[in-house]
Structure 1
Amino acid sequence: MIYLYVGLGGILGSLTRYLFSIFGTYLWGRNFPIGTMIINLTGAFILGFLTNKLAKTKERKPQLFTALTTGVIGSYTTFSTFCVETIRLIEVNQYLYALLYFILSAIGGLYFVHLGLKVGLIGRKKEGISHE
Structure 2
Amino acid sequence: MTFQSILSVAAGGALGSVARYLVGIGSGKLSRSDFPWGTLIINVTGSFLIGALAGLIAAKWDLSQTMRMFLTVGICGGFTTFSTFSLDAYYLIERGQTWASSAYVVASVALSVGALIAALRLVRALP
Q: What range describes the TM-score normalised by the shorter chain of this pair?
A: 0.5 to 0.7
Give distance in 2, aligned partners of 1:58 and 1:2: 18
RMSD value, Cα? 2.7
Give 1:29 shift: 2.3
Q: Does 1:65 align with 2:68?
A: yes
Which residue matches 2:50?
47
Which residue matches 2:97?
none
Q: Which amino acid in structure 2 is aligned with residue 16 of structure 1? A: A
Once the two structures are superposed, what CA deviation does each residue of 1:18-70 show, in whole Å capped at 9, x if it has no partner? Answer: 00010111011241110110010000001011101012688650110011000
Which runs of 4 or more aligned residues in structure 1 lie more than 4 Å from their structure 2 counterparts after TM superposition? 56-60
Which one has more relative contact order, counting CA pairs under 8 Å at least 6 apart? 1
Distance 1:18 1:5, change over 3 A: same
Q: Does 1:16 align with 2:19?
A: yes
Q: Which ranges of structure 1 fall in alignment gaps of 5 or more residues?
A: 80-108, 114-132
What TM-score does the superposition give when structure 2 sets the normalisation length? 0.58
Q: Which ranges of structure 2 fall in alignment gaps of 5 or more residues?
A: 91-127
Give distance in 2, aligned partners of 1:56 and 1:14: 27
Q: Which amino acid in structure 1 is aligned with residue 51 of structure 2? A: G
What TM-score does the superposition give when structure 1 sets the normalisation length? 0.56
Distance 1:51 1:43, change over 3 A: same
Give distance in 2, aligned partners of 1:14 and 1:29: 22
Task: Determine what percentage of the aligned residue pairs are the same residue.
Answer: 40
Once the two structures are superposed, what CA deviation does each residue of 1:61-106 show, in whole Å capped at 9, x if it has no partner? Answer: 0110011000000010154xxxxxxxxxxxxxxxxxxxxxxxxxxx
